[in-house]
Amino acid sequence: MLPLVPRPASIRTRGGAPFAIVPGTVVLAPAAAAGPAEVVARVLGEAAGFVVPVQRAPDEGSRHGAGTPRPAVVLTLGGEQPGVAPDRAREGYRLTADAAGVHLTSPTVDGLHRAAATLRQLLETRATSTIIPDVQIDDIPRYAWRGLSVDVARHFLTAADLESVIELLAAYKLNVLHVHLTDDQGWRLDLPSRPELVARSSAGAVGGDPGGAYSVADWARLVRHAAARGVTVVPEIDVPGHVNAALHAVPALNPDGVAPEVYQGTAVGFSSLRRDVPETVPFLADVFADLAAMTPGRYLHLGGDEAHHTPPDEYVRLVGAAVQAVRAAGREVVGWQEIAAAPLPEGTVVQLWDTRADPAPVVAAARAGARVLLSPADRVYLDMAYRPGHPLGLDWAGCIELHDAYAWDPATTVPGLDPAAVIGVEAAIWTETLRTRDDVMAMLLPRLAAVAEVAWSSSGDWESFRERVAPHAASWDRAGLAWYPSPQVSWRR
């Protein structure tokens, strides 16, 4: 059984001689595919112990161009898939390997990144050689949005820490990093139009721990790092609740003009913007305009959750103002499920998280043209403890072992929701109890691999998944990643 996670749509092992990576092996790619070609070359070189160079493909229109040197790993853009929804087809790919060479083909650069992730998992290092087995894989994702939300507000993670998270996402064919940048405890992104936000509200964290913020340069580097691996960054500025850090930094956002104290606790729902305060609408316009200017992509996330102290009518007005600011910045809206109470533009992404709440507003929003991103807390909130008494994590949504993160179907999770309205699956990790990169990684692994399979293919074969994920522990060890040795798997390190 090939140890591939997530499981590809089609695998055909042919029993022939494998492809061996030897001195002289090259990666061939057109100029447009330079990004995934560099990733492939680095992965092959690390496995084999010598440099594998990238060369320009001699004939970009052919997989087997005349004069192609051997041995070679060839990347090609092409291979359209008629009859498949475009947002899924763009990441489909074919990977073939035999003794003569390896070929990765996809309609897009992002699809080649997914093929590269599979190639990495196919590598076998033996005593004297590194090989890729004789195989043909045809693959396509189930959902177009496959992501992870990371809270950097409760405890700060450096740009380098998030780059490590991006590497993990790319390894498991996840394509969105959603960064929860602001909350009651801290404001983590320097915005050119509002420098007071990080100047006054970035230094602290939960429990009085050190804070931090991303400079404009930090953020640009992070976005580039993600794009070079086929990952889109979706930034979140959480409004109208979860705003104590903003209220502290900008006294004019408070009705009485008096800023609240810095907050270092973990309670939620106590802070709110006020629609009739003159500073509120200009603040929203500035924040989301800067965010759009700093972050390429279609989406900005406006939060919208747990605004318990915002009166319902005012909540709707504030969400409307935030939606208007996002749209004025030229982006589409993403928000937590509570925003379904407000009128939303068609195509808005509503992110369902609270399985305790009535899903009817989300279902109604989908019928009116919204798309639904599934983040059920009792399955994919990966800050939940693995088991009672686990030293990290919370348990308000229950304990989540590896099987719990795996054994669910997005198509049937929300009663009454048309499966066609589901745009994808996104795990989340909140950092009230997580202080370091190792803490975060230990809660992500191995459960993030399970969520990746749910999002890419399915979760229909737990026994197969247990076998396929077991040898991944060795790669996590090599990468220096902390992880939890779930007793539900016989790990091979």
Residue 386 falls inside a structural domain: yes
Q: Residues 128, 168: one domain?
A: no
Q: Residues 165, 103: one domain?
A: no
Reported pTM: 0.96
Residue 441 and residue 394: Cα distance in Å, rounded? Answer: 16
Q: Residues 160, 257: one domain?
A: yes
Per-residue confidence (pLDDT) for residue 70, from 0 to 100: 67
Spatial contact of 4 and 118, defined as CB atoms under 8 Å apart: yes
Per-residue confidence (pLDDT) for residue 64, from 0 to 100: 44
Which of 91, 124, 139 terminates a domain? The answer is: 139
DSSP 3-state assignment of 446? coil
The count of other CB atoms within 10 Å of the CB of residue 59 is 14
Q: Residues 262, 347: one domain?
A: yes
- The CATH number for 36's domain is 3.30.379.10
Any catalytic annotation for residue 306?
A: yes
Q: Residues 152, 135: one domain?
A: no
Per-residue confidence (pLDDT) for residue 88, from 0 to 100: 87
Residue 88 falls inside a structural domain: yes
Residue 391 falls inside a structural domain: yes
- Contacts with 246 (C-beta within 8 Å, 6 or more apart), sequence order: 182, 187, 197, 201, 239, 253, 273, 283
Residue 486 falls inside a structural domain: no
Token output for 59: 């004939």
Nearest CA to 93 out of 67, 66, 75, 70 is that of: 75
Q: Residues 356, 216: one domain?
A: yes
Spatial contact of 178 and 166, defined as CB atoms under 8 Å apart: no
Q: Residues 223, 310: one domain?
A: yes
* Number of domains, the chain: 2
Per-residue confidence (pLDDT) for residue 65, from 0 to 100: 43
Q: Residues 123, 214: one domain?
A: no
Q: Residues 215, 349: one domain?
A: yes
Give the residues across from 124 on adjacent strands. Answer: 131
Residue 78 falls inside a structural domain: yes
Spatial contact of 241 and 271, defined as CB atoms under 8 Å apart: yes
Q: Residues 76, 202: one domain?
A: no
Nearest CA to 49 out of 103, 126, 115, 119 is that of: 126
Residue numbers of the chain with a pLDDT score lower than 50: 60-66
Residue 1 falls inside a structural domain: no
CA distances from 91 to 44, 168, 424, 449 (A): 22, 18, 14, 18
CA distances from 46 to 49, 50, 51, 120, 127 (A): 5, 7, 8, 10, 15
State the DSSP code for 381.
Answer: B
Which of 139, 165, 191 terminates a domain? The answer is: 139
Q: Residues 16, 156: one domain?
A: no
Of the candidates 91, 236, 306, 338, the residue annotated as catalytic is: 306
Element (H, E) at 351: strand 349-352
Q: For the chain, what is the radius of gyration of the CA atoms?
A: 23
Per-residue confidence (pLDDT) for residue 62, from 0 to 100: 44
- The CATH number for 213's domain is 3.20.20.80
Residue 432 and residue 429: Cα distance in Å, rounded? Answer: 10
Residue 372 and residue 365: Cα distance in Å, rounded? Answer: 9
CA 204-206-208 angle, 5° bins: 55
- Torsion, Cα 308 314 319 322, to 10 degrees, reads -120
State the DSSP code for 189.
Answer: B
Model confidence pLDDT, tens digit, residues 427-464: 999 999 999 999 999 999 999 999 999 999 987 899 99
The parent domain of residue 101 ranges over: 10-139
Q: Residues 262, 389: one domain?
A: yes
Residue 475 falls inside a structural domain: no
Which of 119, 139, 159 terminates a domain? The answer is: 139
Per-residue confidence (pLDDT) for residue 87, from 0 to 100: 84
User: Omega before 240 cis (within 30°)?
Assistant: yes
Residue 185 falls inside a structural domain: yes
Model confidence pLDDT, tens digit, residues 358-370: 999 999 999 999 9
